[in-house]
Structure formats: C-alpha cells, structure tokens
Amino acid sequence: MSSASLYVDAGTPIHRLAGRAKIALAAGFSIAALVFSSPIAVGTVLGVALLTLLAVGGWRNLRRLAYIVVALFVVGIVVWPAFTPPGGPVVLSVPFLELTLHEVRFALGRSERIVAFLLIGLTVVTTTSNEELVASLRSLGVPFAMCFALGTALRLFPTFLGAAGMVRQAQEARGHDLSAGNPVQRLRNYVPLLIPVLMTAFRQVSTQSMALEARGFDTRRERTFYNRRRFEVADWAAVALAAIVAIGSIALSTLGFGTL
C-alpha cells in the first residue's frame, strides 16, 4: 500500500464491486448504526464493520488511526452521561458522580455508533481508490468540487501522517523523549511536534494549489472519467443487501427493537 493513499490493492469480493455499490453498502450499514441505540444492536453493526475491514486488508489502516478511534470512543463514554437523563439502577456512585444503567447504556451505544461510522468509512476508502471514489460520487450527482475536495483530503491525510512520523523521528534524534513521564506528560511531549507538522501540511497544500492553477484546473467545468464501471450482478446484489439492511433496521427500530 502506498503511503500516499489509504487504498489497499487486494482481490477481495468487496474490492471487485463498483464504487457506487460500495457507497450503497456503506449507507445501508450507516443507517443501521444510526437508527439503533441499544449497545447490543449498535455493537452488532460495529462488529460487522470491524470484521469486514479486517477481511479486506484494512488492519494497517486501522492501526494508523487507532489513536483517533480509541480517543473518540473514550471521549464519548465520558461526555455522553452528562447529557443523558438518569434512569434505572445506580451502577457507579463516587463523590460528585453517580451513574445509572441508562446513562451507561446510552453512552456506550453512542460511542459504538461513532466508531462504527469511522470503520464503515475506512472500509470504503480501503477498498476504493481515490479516482474510483470521485468518479462514483460524481455519477451519483454530487458536485465535482465536493468530489475533488473529498478525494484530495483522502490523498493528503496519509501524507500528513507520514510527515508527522518524520517529524517525530527527527525530534527523537535530537534527544526529545516522547515516552517519558506519566500519560499527561506524554501528551505534553507531543506539543513541540504540532508546529512542524502544521507547517509541512500548509506547504504541501500551497504547492498543490499552485500546481492545479498552473494546469488550468477549474471545478466548474463538466469532467469526464476514464473506464466507468457498469453494474454487474454482484453490484446489484450489494445494493439489494444495503436496502434490506437499511429498511430492516428502520422497521425493527420502529417496533422498538434495538432501542433504549
């Protein structure tokens, strides 16, 4: 896998699907994660998303984003109880804090939902190249300016991660120990890395902007795409599965299944 892309070149059945079919699958399972609120129901969607990501070779991408995924999950667990009405038996009681079962279940379900969204999106970019994703979104009627912005962001994100790694190695070579101290001190050790990483990002964005202007790039013109894929039987089956998952999850949530 190129360091400049999150795409993993593999021959899995999901890789062989058309880009629009993958987007449909992602939308179907995202709807399922959205309409459910029970930790068990949302956790089921999360488990399917995780297993799918690992099956398509996305372990390396997951490792690269593990800190973000864990941080969002932990923040959700901590923050959501403050905005949830209490209910049910008390499961934790300490000075200045009392958590009920409803608050814990609500926070867990919301945190699982956020992680599920991330893993579903990561599966799409792991199995779909930037060019195919941009072409697929444009064929669905999304304005090309938005498609290009998304493709550029996906292309630059791993580049920024690589720049952060180089800055970290350079700082460690100069004697800056990032692993010293307690967890709070370790977070502070990363502060000197922010300015070099941001400056590298700004420089790369500026360079790309000048390169696009020099080539006469204009997002207002209609674009053409090479080798547009037609839908095959497997693609229609994926769309049907996405519709079943979306409609089924909405129906179940309406009947009270998978909700708090």
Q: What's residue 17's pLDDT?
A: 93
| 99: helix, strand or coil | strand
Q: Give the start-to-end residue ranges of the domains of the chain.
A: 7-128+230-260, 142-229
For the chain, give the percent of residues with pLDDT over 90: 37
Strand partners, 97: 94
What are the tens digits of pLDDT across the range 115-129?
999 999 999 999 998
pLDDT-derived band at 182, boundaries 50, 70, 90: confident
The closest alpha carbon to 163, from 129, 189, 199, belongs to 199
Cβ 239 vs Cβ 21: under 8 Å: yes
pLDDT at position 39 is 93
Instruction: Determine the average pLDDT of the residues in 158-184.
Output: 75
* Mean pLDDT, residues 48-64: 93
Percent of the chain residues past pLDDT 70, beyond the cut? 92
Reply yes or no on whether the pLDDT at 110 is more than 90: yes
Query: What pLDDT is attached to residue 178?
Result: 73
pLDDT at 239: 96
pLDDT of residue 1: 42
Statement: residue 2 has pLDDT above 70: no
Tell which wins on pLDDT, 225 or 40.
40
Mean pLDDT of the chain: 84
Helices (H), the chain: 19-35, 39-55, 59-64, 66-79, 101-127, 130-139, 144-173, 183-189, 194-214, 233-254
- What residue has token string 């204009």? 218
pLDDT at 150: 82
Residue 64 scores a pLDDT above 50: yes
* pTM recorded for the entire structure: 0.80
Residue matched to tokens 């964005």: 205
Check residues 3 and 210 and name the one with the higher pLDDT.
210
